[in-house]
Copies of this chain bind each other. A is one copy, B any other.
Amino acid sequence: MDAALEWRGGAADGREVVERPFVVRHGSSDVPGVLWEPAGGAPGGPAGPLVLLGHGASGSAREGYIVALARRLVRARGWHAAAIDGPVHGDRPRAHQDPTAAFLAFGQAWAHDASLTDRMVDDWRATVDALVGAGVAGGGRIGYWGLSMGTIFGVPLVAADDRIGAAVLGLMGVTGPSRERIEADAPRVRCPVLFLMQGDDELFTRDVVLGLFDALGSTDKRLHLHPGGHASVPAEEFQASERFLAEHLEGAGTGS
């Protein structure tokens, strides 16, 4: 994929994490995103893994939990993390700043434009091309982390791009406007997966969520379920995400 990467500044924030906004241009698309990286490069060697972070509906690449997870991966592991804004989200052209209106606008776009998923997968792949071209993810070890809307796009992305060696997915089921696409792509996901589920998810029933977990083609997969609503994923699972990605991208031991 032919993609141009343009940096939009970037500064250390005093805690050894540099945040670098960027735009990836490919075809007629301008994809706004953010790269988080260790100040002064990865300690003691070549660049570590790159983790792609897919935000949820109504959020953005600068969503609080996305930034927190990115900073955690950079500070604790010395890796790179990157997020791009989803369709009609963040710095993309959109009609609404209000989160609820943005959520509904995504629902509309998702329901009425089947090419939305293809374009977001293309945007992600162009971003990976550009970042790898810029020397990020030197070892080619790439992970994906995305829940809810981050799984709506994440399943097709991980199915399509075998550079991605481990994925954290969840808060989504075999349902919605792109149900057939998810159903077709889920068995094509082959990398190790950590799948997160909330026991009192007000958006998706247990059966459809378990159905997506079951449908994933990965033989190495596990599901972690907690009580609570869609947005109440506990801190424990961000720690588990980091540990899971480390085990599969770094080959770190699984011991305590």
Q: Is A242 an interface residue (CB 8 A)?
A: yes
Q: Is A256 an interface residue (CB 8 A)?
A: yes
Q: Is A210 an interface residue (CB 8 A)?
A: yes
B222:A223 contact, CB within 8 angstroms: no
How many copies of the shown chain assemble into the complex? 2
The CB with the most chain B CB atoms within 10 A, among A214, A221, A236, A256, is that of A256
> Which label, helix, strand, loop or mixed, suits the secondary structure of the A interface?
mixed
A255:B236 contact, CB within 8 angstroms: no
Q: Which residue of B lies closest to A235 (CB)?
A: B254
Q: Is A225 an interface residue (CB 8 A)?
A: yes
Q: Which of A219-256 contact B (CB under 8 A)?
A: 219, 221-227, 234-236, 239, 242-243, 246, 254-256
A243 to B256, CA, bound (A): 6
Band of interface residues on A: 20 to 34
Give A61 Cβ to nearest chain B Cβ, in Å.
24
A residues with CB within 8 A of B: 76, 199, 206, 210, 213-214, 219, 221-227, 234-236, 239, 242-243, 246, 254-256
Given contacts A222-B224, A222-B225, 11 further A-B contacts (CB under 8 A): A76-B255, A199-B214, A199-B223, A213-B225, A219-B227, A221-B226, A222-B234, A223-B224, A223-B226, A235-B254, A243-B256
